[in-house]
Amino acid sequence: GPISIGNHWLSITPFLSGNRITYCTRCWKIGHLREQCKNNVQRCRVCLQEIKEKEEHVCNHVPKYAQCDGEHHSLNGQCHVIQQYRADLKEEVTKALESGKLHRNDYTNPRSDFNMKNEDFPSIGKSKKPQQSVWNGVRTETGHDITPDSTKTLLLINENLVEMRE
């Protein structure tokens, strides 16, 4: 159904995420994760220079792509290698869905597993006696905390007001 935001009615539609690209944060190549990387050398995300000590690396800020050596960042969506990888991934996912190897979660049908029972959630009654607060004060029936310091301060203010009247 719709939702009102800022005096506008907007329709609510389900979010369908795209297929995510798998990439390594060690060598910045696509198709595998850091844990499966066969490269033992950490590389800079921008310039792809070898990083021996993180504090010592000074990036030259000239982007270099890990797949095609182009002058753009390794995960740039405009690169033909990334675009081809996404197209191939989408095709493989579509085939796997059609063959039954993969199944999409259906969020359109709400689950009816939950059954609300009042006895599962009993109400918590209010305590009749004042409770000790975390700050060593006493909680009054009005819900305000009174600490020994605040009581002294209020008495001092009251005495000053009485003196001012006289």
Asked if the model's pLDDT at residue 58 lies above 80, the reply is: yes
Confidence at residue 91, expressed as pLDDT on a 0 to 100 scale: 92
Q: CB neighbours of 42 closer than 8 A, spacing ≥ 6?
A: 26, 50, 51
Secondary structure class of 23 (helix, strand, coil): strand
Mean pLDDT score, 65-87: 84
Per-residue pLDDT tens over the stretch 83-134: 899 899 999 989 998 998 888 777 666 666 777 788 887 777 766 666 655 5
**Nearest to 12, CA basis, from 111, 114, 108:** 108
Q: CB neighbours of 50 closer than 8 A, spacing ≥ 6?
A: 41, 42, 43
Secondary structure class of 22 (helix, strand, coil): coil
- In the block, tokens 């060690």 appear at 26
Amino acid at 118: N
Q: Give the H or E element holding residue 45.
A: none
